[in-house]
Amino acid sequence: MSLPIVAIIGRPNVGKSTFFNRIVGGRVAIVEDTPGVTRDRIYAEAEWNGKAFALVDTGGIDPDTDDVIPAQMREQAQAAMDMATVIIFIVDGKEGLTPADEDVAQMLRRTRTRVVLVVNKADGADREALTYDFYALGLGDPVAVSAANMTGLGDALDAVAVGLPDSPDGEEADEDDDSVRVAVIGKPNVGKSSLINALIGEDRLIVSDIAGTTRDAIDTPFESSGRKFTLIDTAGIRRRARVTGNIERYSVARAIAAIERSDVCLLMIDAQDGVTDQDKRIAGLAHESGKGIVVVVNKWDLIEKETGTLERYREKVRKELPFMSYAPELFISVATGQRFRNVMDMAEAVAENRAMRVPTGKLNSLVRDAMLMKPPPSAKGKSLKIYYAAQVSVKPPLFSFQVNSRSLMHFSYARYLENRIRDAYGFAGTPIKFVFREKEGNSRNEAKNEH
């Protein structure tokens, strides 16, 4: 299941961004901070009292005149009602009730989306008194907070968490669902929905040439060669500068959440466009999240071919995505049916690689041989020593190395060890993570290298 969306709406200067930043960065929330520029200031995963959710800041409205505020507020509220599980409606306690607040409240009273009314800037001894006028909005009991002073935030989160599902335990969820979760990701209009429709053999998803048709992450159960899959079609992720509408913001949030809960991501690239900067950003989200990745180059039928075209294109893709050289490439055309049926076979193979375990004895033998072939680096007369290695987890594979000194483990030698492991066991399509611990066992002397 995807995380429920909790959307923040409100007039300019009521403290929406301050409230958002306090929740995701303060002591009151547990935040899963995954790198990726798309998340900046609009999306964060948070948890409160065992309830996980995705918090989305709609951003401030910047109208040219005061007359525009009601119209933009209505648009913002409508987008939130369409996408969110819970809406946090923030008003300004010091300024008091305004016609714009009443206008939006009228819309919110008609929706089935649950609304938490938060009165911000409620400071001092009379903080509760500042909420009285807002009972007239008919949205239930207002919650008095001061985002700037971090007071009342727990009460607001208690109200938000009511009715949200408990955060699932990852291991139990995996045991209950044996399907491979495959997220189809990419910028708008590269053929994501068309691919899923072709795979399942029906037009279950809306397909359009208009970029951004898919606004939500849609799960489709699917079976191929006796193996169960869950295909997740996501909204196309645009560059941050292009994310202008509130619906777009929620769509980006859901696409990122889909990546987080997937096993394998199919990164779809338009063959005519090549690897764009936005493709790199999207690939980075999946890579940093430790997901399996297959690069699917669509519309291959539109490329003029000559001897060596495919290999040259493959090398170009790897040059543009050097941080995920482990990802296999598949060149397809959904329109003509060229090789698209190979997609699920490759996704299954990547999922199996992501769950692969290397026996400890064989791993240590491999590391010893690697050290003999290429001696570890040294500095100031001191050489790196690797005493022991073990794979400590899967999905993605994580290897722990006990060493005499972390400072002697250069990035280049870590990459050399990764290459030796990949030469022996493959791990195609999945990132590999390393952690290095000094023999003394000092927890402060621990570092991670991710590949």
**Residue 369 carries which side chain, given as an amino acid letter?**
D
Q: Is the pLDDT of residue 208 over 50?
A: no
Each domain of the chain, given as residue ranges in start order, spans: 5-161, 170-354, 360-450
Q: How far is CA 173 from the centre of its chain?
A: 18
pLDDT in tens, 66-79: 455 556 555 655 66
Length of the chain in terms of residues written: 451
Q: Tell me whether the CATH fold assigned to 5-161 matches the one assigned to 360-450.
A: no
Longest dimension (CA), the chain: 79
Provide the pLDDT confidence category of residue 24 given band limits of 50, 70 and 90: confident
The fold of the 360-450 domain, in CATH, is GMP Synthetase; Chain A, domain 3 (3.30.300)
Write the DSSP symbol of residue 164. Answer: P
Write the DSSP symbol of residue 15. Answer: S
Most confident option among 223-237, 261-275, 429-443: 261-275
d(CA 132, CA 141): 9
Ordered strands of the 329-331 beta sheet:
218-224, 227-233, 180-185, 264-270, 292-298, 329-331
Q: How large is the average pLDDT for residues 207-234?
A: 65
Classify residue 392 as left (phi > 0), alpha (psi -120 to 50) or beta: alpha
Q: Is the pLDDT of residue 237 over 80?
A: no
Pairing type for strands 5-10 and 86-92 reads parallel
Q: In this structure, are residues 385 and 376 in contact, taking their beta carbons and an 8 Å threshold?
A: yes
The matching CATH number, chosen from 3.40.50.300, 3.90.1150.110, 3.90.79.10, 3.40.640.10, for 170-354 is 3.40.50.300
pLDDT for residue 189: 82
Bridge partners of 53, per DSSP, are 46
d(CA 266, CA 5): 24
Query: Is the CATH number of domain 5-161 3.40.50.300?
Result: yes
What is the chain's percent helix, strand, coil content, to nearest 5? 40, 25, 40
- Rounded to 10 deg, the angle between the 99-110 and 69-83 helix axes is 30
pLDDT in tens, 421-451: 999 999 999 999 999 999 765 444 545 555 5
Bridge partners of 266, per DSSP, are 184, 294
Write the DSSP symbol of residue 432. Answer: -
CB-based contacts of 50: which residues, under 8 Å, 6+ apart?
166, 167
d(CA 372, CA 156): 60
**Residue 198 carries which side chain, given as an amino acid letter?**
A
State the chain's mean pLDDT as an integer.
80
CA distances 12 to 24, 58, 90, 245, 317, Å, are 20, 11, 10, 16, 43
Query: Rounded to two decimals, what is the model's pTM?
Result: 0.64
Enumerate helices (H) and strands (E) in the chain, giving the number of each.
12, 19
Lowest mean pLDDT among 205-209, 266-270, 369-373: 205-209
Q: Is the pLDDT of residue 20 over 70?
A: yes
Tokens of 75: 């648009």
3-state secondary structure of 343: helix
